[in-house]
């Protein structure tokens, strides 16, 4: 082996550098979820309690940080589907992953926006979907065998149903951040086999005042 052409081993980060990177990622995830992708690296540095130079040493620009957070989010989603599929009660697994997906989309503004910001976001998501879809299909097949899931429901339906819940979550977010749970229960009830009890409502519907305020918030957002 020629020592002149041998690549040096990757240098390990110091413990404090690892801690700083973790703080940066946690702060970025929180800010992207709460405020979308309009936050700056200065915002992330302040939230993480580090200097902005520390952020730039780890991430050359905001897009690199967005990609890192996005990859982490979709990897967590894949792990959640795998955990749901290990549940011996298939319907309990279906409910768990459906709630996980709906909550992730309802509470994470940046997750939807990232599809428009990251050039290869769809390719990245496709690679994770290749990991998610077989597990989800297996879980749905088990729920059909157990007689818990309405005939004809597929994995593709599952993603569409989550998007339906996310739509009401996005509409209501400025005035009622939890009402999506009510519509998640309604959607799940539509997917259950008739022999099973209905999913209980844990959240009341929006009242007229909340609906009017949500409409106003949507109008203001669209004008910006």
Count the Cβ atoms, other than its own, within 10 Å of residue 160. Answer: 11
Shared-domain flag, residues 52 and 82: no
Find out whether 184 and 162 touch, Cβ atoms under 8 Å: no
Q: Which of 14-23, 46-55, 116-125 has the highest mean pLDDT?
A: 46-55
* The pLDDT of residue 5 is above 60: no
* The pLDDT of residue 193 is above 80: yes
Out of 43-47, 161-165, 218-222, which region has the weakest mean confidence (pLDDT)?
Answer: 218-222
Q: Which of 2-11, 45-54, 189-198 has the highest mean pLDDT?
A: 45-54
Count the Cβ atoms, other than its own, within 10 Å of residue 174. Answer: 16
Q: What is the CATH number of the domain that holds 39?
A: 1.10.10.60
Is the model more confident about 208 or about 11? 208
Find out whether 99 and 166 touch, Cβ atoms under 8 Å: no
Residue 91 structure tokens: 């319907």
pLDDT at 12: 53
* The pLDDT of residue 14 is above 70: no
* The pLDDT of residue 1 is above 50: no
pLDDT at 145: 95
| Distance separating alpha carbons of residues 198 and 148, to the nearest angstrom | 12
pLDDT at 224: 54
Shared-domain flag, residues 72 and 110: yes
Find out whether 28 and 69 touch, Cβ atoms under 8 Å: yes
Nearest-10 Cα torsion for 121, 27, 10, 53: 110
Domain of residue 45: give its range: 12-60
Q: What is the mean pLDDT of the chain?
A: 83
| Secondary structure of 83-148 as H, E, C letters | HHHCCCCHHHHHHHHHHHHHHHHHHCHHHHHHHHHCCCHHHHHHHHHHHHHHHHHHHHHHHHHCCC
Find out whether 134 and 81 touch, Cβ atoms under 8 Å: no
Kindly state whether residue 218 falls inside one of the protein's structural domains.
yes
Question: What mean pLDDT comes out for the span 156-166?
Answer: 87
Shared-domain flag, residues 171 and 187: yes
Give residue-wise pLDDT tens across range 116-142.
556 666 666 676 677 788 999 999 999
Give residue-wise pLDDT tens across range 72-102.
888 888 899 999 999 999 999 999 999 998 8
Contacts of 218 (CB under 8 A, 6+ apart): 171
| Distance separating alpha carbons of residues 177 and 213, to the nearest angstrom | 13
Shared-domain flag, residues 35 and 125: no
Kindly state whether residue 6 falls inside one of the protein's structural domains.
no
> CA 147, 148, 152: angle at the middle one, nearest 5?
80
* The pLDDT of residue 7 is above 70: no
* The pLDDT of residue 36 is above 90: no
Shared-domain flag, residues 44 and 151: no
DSSP lists the bridge partners of residue 149 as 192
* The pLDDT of residue 194 is above 70: yes
Single pTM value for the model: 0.72
Nearest to 111, CA basis, from 62, 74, 57: 74
Contacts of 214 (CB under 8 A, 6+ apart): 171, 172, 174, 175, 176, 206
Shared-domain flag, residues 47 and 114: no
pLDDT at 180: 94
Is the model more confident about 57 or about 10? 57
């Amino acid at each position: 082996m020629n020592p002149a052409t041998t690549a040096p081993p990757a240098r390990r980060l110091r413990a404090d550098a690892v801690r700083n990177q973790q703080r940066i990622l946690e702060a970025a995830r929180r800010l992207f979820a709460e405020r979308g992708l309009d936050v700056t690296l200065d915002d992330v540095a302040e939230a993480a309690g580090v200097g902005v130079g520390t952020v730039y040493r780890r991430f050359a620009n905001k897009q690199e940080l967005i990609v890192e957070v996005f990859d982490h989010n979709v990897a967590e989603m894949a792990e959640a589907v795998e955990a749901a599929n290990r549940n011996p009660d298939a319907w309990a697994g279906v409910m768990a992953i459906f709630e996980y997906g709906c909550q992730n989309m309802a509470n994470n503004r940046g997750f939807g926006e990232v599809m428009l910001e990251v050039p290869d976001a769809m390719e990245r998501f496709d690679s994770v979907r290749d990991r998610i879809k077989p597990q989800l299909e297996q879980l749905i097949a088990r729920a059909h065998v157990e007689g818990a899931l309405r005939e004809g429901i597929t994995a593709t339906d599952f993603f569409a149903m989550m998007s339906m819940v996310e739509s009401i979550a996005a509409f209501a977010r400025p005035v009622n951040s939890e009402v999506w749970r009510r519509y998640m229960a309604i959607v799940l009830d539509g997917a259950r086999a008739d022999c099973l009890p209905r999913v209980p409502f844990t959240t009341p519907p929006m009242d007229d005042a909340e609906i009017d305020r949500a409409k106003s918030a949507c109008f203001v957002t669209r004008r910006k």
